C-alpha cells in the first residue's frame, strides 16, 4: 500500500469510529426509559416568620490581583546596508531547521550579492562570480551511453536534492514577512546597481517567472565536450538562458518541486506592496 493510500485509510478509519460513537450516543440516549415524575404533594400554607435583621456587615471579598500585562516585544530595527551581513544571514538561516542553509550561503556582502543575483536571474542569466550561494559540490555527473556518446547522468540530479528539499520546506509566510522587513535595504542595494527609478519587487517577480518558464528536456540529455566544459549537444538547449539550463541540470523531479514552491511564493508576493522607504 502506498503512503498516500495508507494516510487516506487512516483518515477514513477515524471518520468511521467518530460516526459510530456519535450514533451510539444517540441510540443509547433514546433507549433509556424516562424517569417517573415525582408525586405532587399538596400542603397547607404555613405562615412564614420574618428573618431577624443581620446587624453585622458582610465581609468584603478580597480583591484579586490582576496579572501585569506582558511587555510588548521591541520593534526590530533595520540595520544600515553596510552593517547588514550578520543580521540578514541570520534571518535567512532561520528559514531552515538547524541552520541547514549555512553551508550554502556566503558570509560577506550577502544582501548585495543576493540582489545582484536576482537582477541577473530576471533576464534568465546566472552569475558566474560574486554569487550569494555556494554551488553544489562535485563535478557534472556524466555517463557513456553506447554509440550515442555522453549523456547527463541521473546522479547529477542528486547533487541538488538537499537545497531543493530545504526550499520546499521553507515557511512561505515567514519568508514573505522577512522580505517585507528587508525590502528597504533590498531596494537600496538595487539602486546601487544604477536602477534607482525601478522597483526591485518587479525584478523578483520576473526572476520567478524565468524559472517557471523553463521547459523540460527530453531524456536522456546528450552532452558534448568541445573543450574543458560540457555542453548540451542539442543547440536549442545550449542556447537557453542560464536559469533554464540550471532547471534542466537539477532534473525533472527537483525542477517540479522548485516550480511548485515558486508558484506558492509568487502568489504571496503578488499580494505584497513593499515600501522603498525605511
Tens digits of residue pLDDT in 226-256: 988 899 999 999 999 999 999 999 999 999 9
Looking at residue 149, what is its pLDDT?
Answer: 84
Q: Average pLDDT, whole number, for the chain? A: 79
Q: Calculate mean pLDDT across residues 128-154.
A: 83
Parallel/antiparallel/unpaired status of strands 150-152 and 231-232: unpaired
Q: Calculate mean pLDDT across residues 183-203.
A: 94
CA separation for the pair 175, 264 (Å, rounded)? 11
Residue 194 lies in a domain: yes
Residue 276 pLDDT greater than 60, yes or no: no
Looking at residue 277, what is its pLDDT?
Answer: 46
Looking at residue 3, what is its pLDDT?
Answer: 37
Q: Please state, for a pLDDT cut of 70, what percent of the chain lies above it.
A: 71
Q: Calculate mean pLDDT across residues 130-155.
A: 83
Q: Which residue has the cell 490582576?
A: 66
Residue 14 lies in a domain: no
CA separation for the pair 245, 239 (Å, rounded)? 9
Long-range contacts of 76-81 (CB under 8 A, 24+ apart): 76/181, 78/181, 78/182, 78/184, 78/185, 78/278, 79/185, 81/111, 81/112, 81/185, 81/188, 81/189
Residue 162 lies in a domain: yes
Residue 55 lies in a domain: no
Which carries the bigger pLDDT value, residue 153 or residue 63? 153
Residue 133 lies in a domain: yes
Task: Please count the structural domains in the chain.
Answer: 1
Task: For residue 145, give its domain range.
Answer: 81-269
Looking at residue 41, what is its pLDDT?
Answer: 47
Residue 204 lies in a domain: yes
Which carries the bigger pLDDT value, residue 138 or residue 142? 142
Residue 17 lies in a domain: no
Q: Where are the beta strands (DSSP E) in the chain?
A: 142-144, 150-152, 222-224, 231-232
CA separation for the pair 124, 202 (Å, rounded)? 14
The whole-angstrom distance between residue 117's C-alpha and the CA centroid of its chain comes to 20
Residue 4 lies in a domain: no
Looking at residue 106, what is its pLDDT?
Answer: 93
Amino acid at each position: 500500500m502506498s503512503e498516500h493510500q495508507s494516510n487516506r485509510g487512516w483518515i477514513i478509519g477515524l471518520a468511521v469510529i467518530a460516526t459510530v460513537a456519535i450514533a451510539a450516543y444517540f441510540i443509547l440516549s433514546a433507549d433509556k426509559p424516562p424517569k417517573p415524575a415525582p408525586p405532587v404533594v399538596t400542603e397547607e400554607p404555613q405562615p412564614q416568620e420574618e428573618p431577624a435583621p443581620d446587624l453585622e456587615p458582610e465581609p468584603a471579598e478580597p480583591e484579586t490581583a490582576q496579572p501585569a500585562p506582558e511587555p510588548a516585544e521591541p520593534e526590530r530595527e533595520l540595520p544600515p546596508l553596510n552593517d547588514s551581513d550578520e543580521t540578514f544571514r541570520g534571518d535567512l538561516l532561520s528559514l531552515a531547521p538547524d541552520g541547514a542553509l549555512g553551508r550554502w550561503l556566503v558570509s560577506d556582502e550577502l544582501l548585495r550579492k543576493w540582489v545582484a543575483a536576482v537582477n541577473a536571474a530576471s533576464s534568465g542569466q546566472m552569475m558566474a562570480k560574486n554569487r550569494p550561494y555556494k554551488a553544489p559540490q562535485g563535478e557534472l555527473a556524466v555517463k557513456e551511453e553506447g554509440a550515442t556518446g555522453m549523456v547527463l547522468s541521473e546522479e547529477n540530479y542528486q547533487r541538488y536534492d538537499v537545497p531543493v528539499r530545504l526550499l520546499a520546506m521553507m515557511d512561505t509566510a515567514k519568508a514573505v514577512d522577512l522580505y517585507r522587513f528587508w525590502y528597504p535595504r533590498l531596494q537600496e542595494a538595487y539602486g546601487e546597481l544604477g536602477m534607482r527609478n525601478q522597483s526591485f519587487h518587479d525584478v523578483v517577480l520576473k526572476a520567478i517567472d524565468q524559472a517557471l518558464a523553463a521547459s523540460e528536456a527530453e531524456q536522456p540529455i546528450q552532452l558534448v565536450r568541445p573543450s574543458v566544459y560540457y555542453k548540451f549537444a542539442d543547440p536549442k538547449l545550449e542556447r537557453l538562458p542560464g536559469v533554464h539550463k540550471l532547471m534542466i541540470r537539477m532534473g525533472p523531479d527537483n525542477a517540479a518541486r522548485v516550480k511548485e514552491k515558486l508558484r506558492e511564493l509568487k502568489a504571496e508576493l503578488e499580494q505584497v506592496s513593499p515600501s522603498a522607504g525605511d
